[in-house]
Amino acid sequence: MPQAPSSGHLYERDFLTPGQRAELVQWLATLHPIWEDRFSENHPPPPGQKQRGLLRPVYWLGNWQFACLDYYRPPHGTRDRCVRAEPFPAVLAELVRAIEALTKLELRDADIPKGWHLNTCLVNFYGDRLEGERRVDVARVGEHKDFEPGPVASLSLGERALIQFVRSQRPGERDEVVLQQWLEDASLQIFGGPRFKDQLFHRVQRVERKGTHRFPMHLGDFETRRINLTLRYVPDQHVVPFAQLNAKSASDVRGYMETLARYAPFFARELATAPGKG
Ligand X SMILES: O=C(O)CCC(=O)C(=O)O
In the complex, the smallest distance separating the C-beta of residue 275 from ligand X, rounded to whole angstroms, is 32
The residue ranges of DSSP E strands in 196-245, in sequence order, are 201-207, 223-232, 239-240
Give the shortest CB-111-to-ligand X separation in angstroms: 18
- Residue 264 CB, nearest approach to ligand X (Å): 21
Taking each helix axis from N to C end, the angle separating 265-272 and 247-261, rounded to the nearest 10 degrees, works out to: 140
Distance, in Å, from the CA atom of 98 to the CA atom of 178, rounded to the nearest integer, reads 28
Give 248-253's long-range contacts (Cβ < 8 A, gap of 24+). 248/42, 249/42, 249/43, 249/69, 249/80, 250/274, 250/275, 250/276, 251/41, 251/42, 252/40, 252/41, 252/42, 252/43, 252/66, 252/68, 252/69, 253/40, 253/66, 253/68, 253/69, 253/83
How far apart (Å, rounded) are the C-alpha atoms in residues 24 and 14? 14
Which distant-in-sequence residues (6+ apart) come within 8 Å of 112 by Cβ? 103, 104, 150, 151, 192
**Residue 31 or 161 with smaller CB distance to ligand X:** 161
Q: Which of residues 176-195 bind ligand X (CB under 6 A)?
A: 183
122 binds ligand X (CB under 6 A): yes
Per-residue interface string for the shown chain with ligand X, residues 199-218, x marking contact by CB under 6 A:
---x-x--------------
Residue nearest to ligand X (CB): 228
Which of 68, 123, 141, 239 binds ligand X (CB under 6 A)? It is 141
Q: Which of residues 160-179 bind ligand X (CB under 6 A)?
A: 161, 163
User: Residues 62-91 vs ligand X: string with x where CB under 6 A?
Assistant: ------------------------------
| Coil/strand/helix, residue 64 | strand
Output the smallest distance, CB 225 to ligand X, in A: 12
In the complex, least distance from residue 237 CB atom to ligand X, rounded to whole angstroms: 23
Please say which residue, 91 or 231, places its beta carbon nearer to ligand X.
Answer: 231
Nearer to ligand X, 39 or 59 (CB): 59
Size of the site for ligand X (CB under 6 A): 12
Binding-site ranges for ligand X (CB under 6 A): 122, 124, 141, 146, 154, 161, 163, 183, 202, 204, 228, 230
